[in-house]
Amino acid sequence: MTQDFIVGLARHSVELTLLISLPILGIGLLVGLAVSIFQAVTQIQEMTLSFVPKIIAVLLGLLVTFPWIMNKLIDFTTGLIEQIPTIIR
């Protein structure tokens, strides 16, 4: 196990984490922006109005993207398990 392997594994892990979190964070950002614009236009400053739509949108986004996320995680884990013999040497 070399230093290059560890750095590459860490880089791949961080890239996968960012790739998986991007759709969910993007949905939360877009819904939050829409709710903020709605609150600014109507001058309604209700706290639950800003949280509830974001929570619902993120949960719906998770339901839609869950198969893709699980596929990416399974591929990553399978790759790690397949590399165990190479790592041990």
Query: In this predicted structure, what is the pLDDT of residue 26?
Result: 96
Q: Write out the residue range of the structural domain in which residue 77 sits.
A: 18-88
In a domain, 27, yes or no: yes
pLDDT tier at 50, thresholds 50, 70, 90: confident
Count of all residues that appear for the chain in the document: 89
pTM of the model: 0.79
pLDDT(89) > 80: no
In a domain, 53, yes or no: yes
In a domain, 2, yes or no: no
pLDDT tier at 76, thresholds 50, 70, 90: very high
Per the model's pLDDT, the better-predicted residue between 5 and 20 turns out to be 20
In a domain, 7, yes or no: no
Instruction: Please state, rounded to an integer, the average pLDDT across all residues of the chain.
Output: 92
- Per the structure, the count of domains in the chain is 1
In a domain, 1, yes or no: no
